[in-house]
Chains A and B, each alone.
Chain A
Amino acid sequence: MNVSDILESGLLELYVLDELSVTERATVETWALQHPEVKSELNSIEVGLENLAFSQALPIRPSVKDAVISKIQNEKEIQNKGSKPTQIADAFSESQFANKSNTLSNLKTGIPIKNTELANNTISAPRRPLNVLSWILVATLAMSSFYLYNELQKEHSKSESCELVQRQNAKSYVETDRALNVLRNTNTKTVELKGLKIAPESKVNIYWNAQKAETMLAIVNLPAPPEKMQYQLWAIVDKKPVSAGVLEYSTEALQFMKGFDKAEAFAITLEKQGGSDAPTLDKMYVLGTL
């Protein structure tokens, strides 16, 4: 495709509106790196949409602002009290990394993610028998929830801890359900990323489902990152590294990363906080090929 075909394709507009599949998205990002015209066109589209939105701005009752501020302050307090912010984004589109399906039938069929709604639900029995790995996951989550519950009871006043446990349970439910679906799926492959020279003891497992473009990660062993640094996962797609997002440093939880429908290898590098555009190759900790 030459540059003017790219500009006229309509894909750039859909990219900005977060409407593209993972593969199409990666293609647009590659174009943007290769052609300055594409990059600047993307920017013009974004500025245009922003202006459009501002021209349609609406007044809001002042009480809404107070509610937003107090909600976020609560959230911050809860974070500070040790409940980890989850890396697992709501099922769809919390980020430009998110993998979004474009078909009607797949649309938003995921569980509604509102914590408040889920908090009151009980976990229903799975419809199919689980494999061993799934059971281990269930048990681990149950134990960690129980541990957390006990710890919280000790540390906080009753009302605070109840709220926390509720949130944690709601998150666990969503995470477990989505993780189980990946692990249960017979197309899911386990890719062992093995430690390289820099830290030979390191090990990270990737659970990758190409059909569903889901990528899940479990840190088995990885040195704690230095301050202001973060690990970043890369998928090697058509011999080029593509970012799959930065890692939350935790050996307890499974994390969802950006999904891929094809990849030749996965690797983790140490990068500046928030991640980099390209991997720092001499800081590659683990690597696993398919």
Chain B
Amino acid sequence: MIQTEIPLFTEQHIVELLQKQDTQIVSVLYDKYAGALMGVVKRTIQNEALAEEVLQDTFTKIWRYSANYDAAKGKLFTWMLNIARNTAIDATRAKNFSQKNHFIDDIVNTVDAQNQVSQINPDGLDLKDLANKLTPELFAVVDTIYFQGYTHVEAAEALELPLGTVKTRLRIALKQLRNYF
């Protein structure tokens, strides 16, 4: 694919070709979104090789289930993001967290990590900046749900917060972050 062609593809074009199962679009799709999706995957999976495998699976699923994407219900990236998050979570649980006890360990680790915001930055380029833009309470909620892929119910348990507080903080945090982009 010639680099200069890439900007010509709008989201709508990409969706159309993807749903027609035109393999030509894969390269465009990948160039446009792989880095951002990798950023999401790497928050859940630090191991490079496993993260690469999850990214591959994510793209295969995007391809395979493209007919399920409904533009009326949201943006293409949102749909892909959720596939990436879920694939990453599945991979983590299949490998390490097949038993609930391990899962609880994981939550404990997460809580530890939340208390040391500065240390949870293995790869994220601007994650520190991001953390600095939010109060630690707000950042913890965004990090747990958005990056580490916990459901809001799990996040509430992990952070020992009422469900309503988690929802409110997520809302406030995402709203504040909007102003920075």
Contact = CB atoms under 8 A, between A and B. Distances in A.
By size class, the interface of chain B is: 35 or more
B5 to A, nearest CB: 16
A211 B166 CA distance: 27
Contacts of A108: 89-90, 93
Given A48-B177, A75-B63, A94-B68, A56 B94 contact: no
A231 to B, nearest CB: 13
A251 B34 CA distance: 38
Contact of A95 (B68, B157, B168): B68
Nearest to A89: B65
A17 B145 contact: yes
Interface string B137-151: 000000001110001
Q: How large is the interface on A (under 10, 10 to 19, 20 to 34, 35 or more residues)?
A: 35 or more
Contact of B181 (A8, A48, A75): A48
A76 B145 contact: no
B86 A54 contact: no
Contact of A93 (B83, B130, B147, B153): B83
B94 A114 contact: yes
Contact of A68 (B60, B68, B75, B178): B60
A161 to B, nearest CB: 21
B86 A42 contact: no
B27 A65 contact: yes
Interface in B1-60: 19, 21, 23, 26-27, 30-31, 34-40, 42-43, 52, 55-57, 59-60
A16 B170 CA distance: 12
B94 A95 contact: no
Given A53-B39, A55-B130, A102-B152, A9 B82 contact: no
A61 interface: yes
Contacts of B153: 102-104
A107 B90 CA distance: 10
A9 B146 CA distance: 18
Given A69-B30, A108-B93, A274 B181 contact: no
A11 B124 CA distance: 27
A224 to B, nearest CB: 18
Interface in B122-171: 123-127, 130, 145-147, 151-154, 157, 164, 166-168, 170-171
B30 A53 contact: no
Contacts of B178: 44, 47-48, 51
A37 interface: no
A200 interface: no
Interface of B: 19, 21, 23, 26-27, 30-31, 34-40, 42-43, 52, 55-57, 59-61, 63-65, 67-70, 72-75, 77-79, 81-83, 85-86, 89-90, 93-94, 103, 123-127, 130, 145-147, 151-154, 157, 164, 166-168, 170-171, 174-175, 177-178, 181
18 contacts: A8-B168, A10-B164, A10-B166, A13-B174, A18-B85, A46-B77, A55-B125, A57-B125, A59-B38, A92-B86, A93-B86, A94-B61, A95-B69, A96-B73, A96-B79, A97-B68, A104-B103, A104-B153
Interface of A: 8-14, 16-19, 29, 42-61, 64-65, 67-69, 71-73, 75-76, 79, 85, 89-90, 92-97, 100, 102-104, 107-108, 112-114, 117, 245-246, 274-275, 277
